[in-house]
Amino acid sequence: MTDYAKLFRLDGKHALVIGAGSGIGRESALALSAHGAQVTCADRDLAAAESTASTRDLTIAGELGAPDISAYQLDILDDDAIIRAAAELDPVDVLVFTAATNVRKRILDYTNDEFDRVVSLNLRASFQLIRAFGKQMAERGSGSIIGFSSIRGTTVEPGQSVYAATKAGLVQLLRTAAAELGPSGVRANAIAPGVVETPLTAQIKANPAWYDAYAQKGALSRWAQPSELAGAVVYLASDASSFVTGSVLAVDGGWTAVDGRFDPPN
């Protein structure tokens, strides 16, 4: 009989969170740890990763047998660094990657260097992470890969071309991973956030009209906090989603469900 009280527990699992130094990655790492996982907080900024690792509730961290949470410096634009991490770290049961960048420009204004920068981090690095850690998971016969797409993977606006293309591409990359690695017991899913207050969206928050327009687009009429994405990560990492793979979980406050910004009269 299934013990539903433990459905979301991650005891005995090792989760690697890429981009754990801030925003959604930081909250994901803390949530996974709170549910019993051993967590490695990986980030290009080691000090930021260490800050996340040291934030965990001291009463939890001090308990006998509490899972370990540690920091690891990792630049995912460096292929060799990814390969080295896969060899150095304890076997990874849950891979979460949140790191992304965006250059908000119209297509005709984009430079080749800007295109390469966005694609390299948002898509190519994801490809390398899936290959390095997915291979190990497949060899062990289990694992969960969780990547962060976006509402921009399905809905676009002017100035979001390359970012949107990478987020749509990531969905298809994860679906293919689900198809190829599924027979080996590995699941792969995407989370598609709406507007979330993170360092990546600081430019929008600084413009009140832009910020308010985005807030009103969703059904909940507000922005999300990074912590509101953590539940989706725990779900996809845990046995609660044991039959979920190749899926896109929208955590967007109803953004992609609501048609337009005008509320017509009855």
163 is catalytic: yes
Contact 134, 148 (CB under 8 A): no
Residue found by looking up tokens 């990492």 in the block: 237
Contact 66, 83 (CB under 8 A): no
Contact 118, 200 (CB under 8 A): no
**Residue 152, token pair as written in the block:** 């921009």
Dist. CA 188–CA 97, nearest whole Å: 12
From the candidates 4, 110, 163, 211, give the one annotated as an active-site residue. 163
- CA angle (175 as vertex; 131, 134 as ends), nearest 5: 25
> Given its phi and psi angles, is residue 141 left (phi above 0), alpha (psi -120 to 50 degrees) or beta?
left
Give catalytic residue positions.
163
